[in-house]
Amino acid sequence: MENYYYSSSSEQLSKSTALIACGSMAILYVAILYSPTLLFRLPKPTSLNTFMIRRFICAIISSLVSVTLSAFLLPIKSWDVGAYGIRVDHMCQAVLIPLSLTSLVYTGSLFSKVKSFQCTGNVSQRLFNLIVSVTYDVLAWRNYVVAPLTEELVFRACMIPLLLCGGFKTYTIIFLSPVFFSLGNLYNSFRYFTRVGKQYIS
């Protein structure tokens, strides 16, 4: 992978190093979420807001560690966010096209929401109240801001350059990237199925 951002092939990563680094990032992303109570012995959070803010901080720390690790491992000639696939050119298309395609999935619910606003009157006030409620909703911040940004940064911006520099083919990376993401969510799935299983047994 020799281009503006990366140095010659003689300095590129081995495949095993790239895989170990990506696996470590995936495990760290989830493991650090449990560090406040398990590692630092902090008291359990007393509210949902406190619990989520702790998780936000952990996710941000994990993302920064992943960026640092990938910057250390990647054969970058001169540091630039472009090395992580973050480019200013065509940013508008990169944001609007995926957003539009994703919105198509929710066209029905969006249409029904808009229709409900029109039927009840005072649309602008209801829309303003909705925006305010979302702004102060910690779960909305998790779902729409923190989780998407940190997950994309770790599982895409950090991992894909490592896999490319490790010599993996594009179609292999398309397969490996979701595998690492699923690895990061494996523990949460295990907890969920364990809880559901106990409910069925009881």
Structure confidence at residue 201 (pLDDT): 47
Question: 75: Cβ–Cβ under 8 A, 6 or more apart, which residues?
Answer: 6, 7, 8, 11, 12, 13, 165
Question: Is 66:84 a contact under the CB 8 Å cutoff?
Answer: no
Query: DSSP state, 144?
Result: I
Report yes or no on 164 lying in a domain: yes
Confirm whether 82 is domain-assigned. yes
pLDDT 10s digit of each residue in the chain, 202 long? 445 555 555 457 889 999 999 999 999 998 898 888 777 788 888 899 999 999 999 999 999 999 999 988 887 766 667 777 777 777 788 788 888 888 888 787 777 776 776 665 566 777 777 778 878 899 989 988 999 899 999 999 999 999 998 989 999 999 999 899 988 777 666 666 666 555 544 4
Q: How much is the pLDDT for 35? A: 85
Position 61 scores a pLDDT of: 95
Alpha-carbon distance of 77 to 106, in angstroms, equals: 43
In sequence order, what are the residues at sequence separation of 6 or more whose Cβ sits closer than 8 angstroms to the Cβ of residue 100? none
Q: Residue 68's Cα: distance from chain center in Å?
A: 16
- The rounded distance, in Å, linking the Cα atoms of 91 and 175 is 25
- Where in the sequence is the domain holding 15, given as residue range(s)? 9-86+138-201
For the chain, the domain total comes to: 1
Residues with Cβ within 8 Å of residue 134, at least 6 apart in sequence: 140, 144
* 3-state SS, residue 61: helix
In-domain check, residue 68: yes
pTM: 0.76
Instruction: Supply the DSSP symbol for 136.
Output: T
In a domain, 179, yes or no: yes
> Domain for residue 13, yes or no?
yes
Task: Quote the longest CA-to-CA distance of the chain.
Answer: 67
Q: What does the block give as tokens for 149?
A: 């940004």
Residue 15 lies in a domain: yes
Is 106 within the bounds of a domain? no
- Is residue 76 a part of any domain in this protein? yes
* pLDDT value at residue 126: 73
